[in-house]
Amino acid sequence: MKAKTKTLFFLFLAACMAMTLPVFGADEKAESLAETPAGKTGGIDYLVLVNKLHPLPDGWEEMLDTVTSTNTLGDEVVAEKNTYNAYLQLKEDLEKNSGIYLELDNGFRSVESQQKIMDDFTATYGADYAAKIVAPPGCSEHHTGLALDLYFRIKADDGTYTDVYLNEDMTKDEYLGLWESVHAKLADYGFILRCLEGREHITGFAYEPWHIRYVGDPDVAKEITAEDITLEEYLGNYRAPAVVIDEGTSEMYSPEELKEAEIQIKCRFASREGCELHSLRYAGDAACNEENIARLNALCDGADAAEIAEFLCDFRTGASTSDALEPNTAYENYEWWLAKTDDNGWDIITENPA
| 273 belongs to a structural domain | yes
Residues 251 and 196 in one domain: no
User: Is residue 13 in some structural domain?
Assistant: no
pLDDT at 258: 95
Shared domain check, 186 and 142: yes
3-state helix, strand, coil in the chain (%, to 5): 35, 20, 45
User: Which of 193, 209, 234 is a domain's end point?
Assistant: 234
**Percentage with pLDDT > 70 across the chain:** 85
Q: By C-alpha distance, which of 271, 268, 311 is closest to 287?
A: 311
Per-residue model confidence as pLDDT tens digits over 264-289: 999 989 888 888 999 999 999 999 99
- pLDDT of residue 238 exceeding 70: no
Residue 74 sits in the same domain as residue 206: yes
Give the mean pLDDT of 20-39.
38
Domain boundary, last residue among 205, 234, 263: 234
Shared-domain flag, residues 252 and 173: no
Kindly report each contact of residues 342-348 with a partner whose C-beta sits within 8 Å and lies 24 or more positions away, as own/partner.
Answer: 343/8, 343/125, 344/257, 345/125, 345/129, 345/260, 346/128, 346/257, 346/260, 346/261, 346/264, 346/309, 347/126, 347/128, 347/129, 348/128, 348/264, 348/265, 348/268
- Note whether 200 and 265 are same-domain residues: no
Decide: pTM greater than 0.75: yes
Residue 6 lies in a domain: no
Is 167's pLDDT higher than 60? yes
User: Is there a single domain that holds both residue 78 and residue 190?
Assistant: yes
Same-domain check for residues 302 and 214: no
CATH of the domain at 140: 3.30.1380.10
Is position 258 within any domain? yes
Higher pLDDT, 95 or 345: 95
Helix axes 176-186, 81-98, angle to 10 degrees: 130
175 and 51 in one domain? yes
CA distances from 92 to 119, 181, 193 (A): 37, 13, 19
Residues 158 and 98 in one domain: yes
Same domain, 301 and 156: no
* Confidence check: pLDDT of 17 > 80: no
Domain hosting 285: range is: 244-351
Residue at a domain's end among 183, 200, 234:
234
Domain tally for the chain?
Answer: 2
Query: Is 3 within the bounds of a domain?
Result: no
Q: Does 7 fall in a domain?
A: no
pLDDT for residue 42 is more than 90: no
Mean pLDDT computed over every residue of the chain: 85
- The mean pLDDT value for 65-87 works out to 97
* pLDDT higher than threshold 60 for residue 41: no
DSSP code string of 80-128: EHHHHHHHHHHHHHHHHHH--EEEEEE----HHHHHHHHHHHHHHH-HH
Q: Examine the domain organization and report whether 215 and 114 are in the same domain.
A: yes
Domain match, 211 and 86 both = yes
Residue 223 belongs to some domain of the structure: yes
If you average pLDDT over residues 47-71, what whole number do you get?
Answer: 94
Q: Report which DSSP code applies to 190.
A: T
User: What band does 237 get if pLDDT is binned at 50, 70 and 90?
Assistant: low
Confirm whether 152 is domain-assigned.
yes
